[in-house]
Amino acid sequence: MSEKLARLKEILGEVSDLGRATSVLDWDQQVNIPPMGGDARGQQLATLGKIRQEKFTSDEVGRLIDDLKSEFAGADSDDAAMIRVAARNYDKAKRVPPSFVAEQAVVASRSFEAWLEAKGKSDYAIFLPHLQKMVDLVHKYISFFPPADHPYDTLLDDYEPGMKTADVKAIFDGLRPRQVKLIKAIGEAKQVKDDFLRKKYNEKKLWDFGEEIIRCFGYDFNRGRQDKAAHPFETTFSVNDVRITTRFEADNPLAMIFSTMHEAGHGMYEQGVNPVYERTALEGGASLAVHESQSRMWENLVGRSLPFCEHFFPKLKKTFPNQLEGIGVKAFYKAVNKVEPSLIRVNADEATYNLHIMLRLELEIAMVEGILDLKRLPEIWNTKMREYLGVTPPDDAQGVLQDIHWSAGLIGYFSTYALGNLISAQLWEKIDKDVRNLDDQIRAGNFDALLGWLRENLHQFGHKYDPQDIVQRITGSKITPEPYVRYLTKKYSEIYSL
């Protein structure tokens, strides 16, 4: 290894350490922090963020990257990929002043605390001034970059490198009418009963059952843990410390199990990244959409499949005999796949979920374009919920305040959720061809071959490839909605006898 490459890796390792330390403080803020700790935590995050930004955007790093780009030009090695990704990240980070990074951390910490209070009291007015500050900072952030085809492109590229707003709109425009057509057909069919899912279930038993499931999946508790949070998430401190959170909802108790499976999907991706990439620009997943493909795959394509239910439902029924008395596996399978327009995105069924994302994308683009009056956001939100899903939130907590993202300034993020759905189905079609008797293996509670395939073909590569490239490398096609439409149509045609 050349002296320059060794020096760049040394600095990138320190930058990674600072980022991971920031993640620890952020995790603690969402899981453990006392009510009065928010302001101090914001300052701590600001200090770390500023130091990290200054270290990464130093002139020395710029010179090292320039020299190494010439040295590794045309190469296809891990080091060449690391230099390419580091160069892209450096070019973007260099445009953002460290003082802005510090300011954003302070504002985001206070915004998060305000969001928690506002959601708890279902009072958007508490959150409004903080959201306004976050949106103002987003506009300021965009101003640091050259004009793009659309200002939203600058934000989207942070989460989905290479993807354009026009690309996402085109995908969604092609997907929306087909999903709406399917939802309409389901609405006219005989409906599924699911009242037994909303009885009283013991939270601790559900927690334990969810952990049993993800142990079977392959989530390694020697390198991870699960805690409670207001909004479930996964976070990575190292390849050997990958944590997840979940939550319990008394009026929708089994959602806890699916939340656990969802976050474990993220966690297993991170646990599967090549350890050699630790503390380099290649650590972590390829993008948020690719990451979301893993969480949605384990939650839905596995966790809501009939073979999965055939294996785990008898155990669940033994755990909750009173709640599930007289319920068979087919009835349970249909219930957990019931299509019904709903208020809460994270609990939405597969057929309607993407409509939640399209709604949020439309609102985010309006925020970025400066044509959305934030004072009217709850009203606009409710109108669009009626337009997209035919339901109206009864209060702010179940409406505009349900997601954590805007409180952290994560604008540009939401489309990756729907894109993740599409990627999950693309991958699944390939997996189903490559892994023999996959349904039988799931039916037997054996997930080794599935996880092994994902480790070999996706997880190990971390951030080495851009999202469109890794999807095409695996499936032969860039991100496309066709496999997802085929998946939804087949599944729900069988459930609803369409």
Is residue 262 within 8 Å of residue 244, measured between CB atoms? no
The DSSP secondary-structure symbol of 298 reads: I
Q: How many residues does the chain have?
A: 498
Q: Which of 224, 269, 226 is nearest to 245 (CA)?
A: 226
DSSP SS3 for 296: helix
263 is catalytic: yes
Is residue 439 within 8 Å of residue 433, measured between CB atoms? no
If 0-12 CB within 10 Å is exposed, 13-18 middle and 19+ buried, where does residue 394 land?
exposed
Write the CB contacts of 139 (distance below 8 Å, at least 6 apart in sequence). 368, 370
Write the CB contacts of 452 (distance below 8 Å, at least 6 apart in sequence). none
**Residue 459 Cα distances to 13, 35, 164, 290, angstroms:** 21, 37, 25, 10
Backbone φ and ψ of 282, nearest 5°: -95, 0
- Indicate the pairing of strand 224-228 with strand 241-246: parallel
Amino acid in position 286: A
* Residue of 113, 211, 263, 270 marked catalytic: 263
If 0-12 CB within 10 Å is exposed, 13-18 middle and 19+ buried, where does residue 190 land?
exposed
Q: Tokens 């270290």, residue?
A: 55
Tokens, residue 139: 């506009």
If 0-12 CB within 10 Å is exposed, 13-18 middle and 19+ buried, where does residue 433 land?
exposed
Is residue 344 within 8 Å of residue 402, measured between CB atoms? yes
Is residue 22 within 8 Å of residue 88, measured between CB atoms? no
- Indicate the pairing of strand 234-238 with strand 241-246: antiparallel
Q: Would you please indicate which residues are annotated as catalytic (active-site) residues?
A: 263
